[in-house]
Amino acid sequence: MSALRIFVTGTDTGVGKTRATATIARALAGLGRSPRVLKAVQTGLPPGAPGDAAEIAMLSGVAAEEIERFALPADPFSASLAAGVPALRAADLARAVDRIAGDLVVEGAGGLLVPLNAEETLADLAVAARLHLILVVGLRLGCMNHALLTLEAAARRELAVLGAILVACDAPPGDGYLVDVERVLQGKTKILGILPHGSPSASAVERDAEALRAHLAPFL
């Protein structure tokens, strides 16, 4: 069987990428796979503090680790400048990704075009590591525009998009707004799942993963 290697990006920061990443990893594990999870760049935390990778491992039961970390809560380029260290390069991050064989889920930081350095963004990492995208759409005002812009940016770079996961990130969306978002995305990407509002638990992630498995199985 071929490996499924996914890059999880979002329409913005704080839209539920970590929850979606845990759900994807749990879904793959439920399909009999042995996925690993990488957090490409963790920002906003000092050394030793539990971050997104620790949360993903707790929620999914799947091993997760970080590639890079910066203390400043900012994009990786700004955070590296604040730390006085060289900016990250997509090729270096891609080599870290390539060292892990088999199924892999890589969580980005913010959106697809978040800068790594003066010339490169996280999209360049996805290209260099040959990752397939899953777009996490935070269901709040502005998400349609952000989703369409992200899909357009992915298409320009010939990045394959497996689909989108919608997350009620701020509050439960009204049925009308959910229908509007689904209509706008119709024909542009497949909706793989809808995750509810609220802090997730391991049992909630398992429940959501059950519904996601059927959508991921065809890609394996």
Residues 108, 110, 111, 116, CA torsion sign: negative
Distance in angstroms (rounded) separating the CA atoms of residues 215 and 18: 19
Measured CA distances, 202 to 25, 29, 144 (Å): 12, 14, 29
CA atoms within 13 A on the CB side of 196: 10
* Residue among 90, 96, 95, 56 nearest 76 (CA): 90
Which of 17, 39, 188, 190 is labelled catalytic?
A: 39
Secondary structure (DSSP) of 84-123 = TSPPP-HHHHHHHHHTS-SSEEEEEEEETT-BSSSS-BHH
Specify the 3-state DSSP secondary structure of 190.
Answer: coil
Give the β-pairing of 104-111 and 161-167: unpaired
Cα–Cα distance measured from residue 56 to residue 110, given in angstroms and rounded to the nearest whole number? 16
Token reading at 43: 């920002």
- 17 part of the active site: no
Non-local (6+) Cβ contacts of 185 within 8 A are: 137, 144, 147, 164, 191
Q: Which residues are catalytic?
A: 39
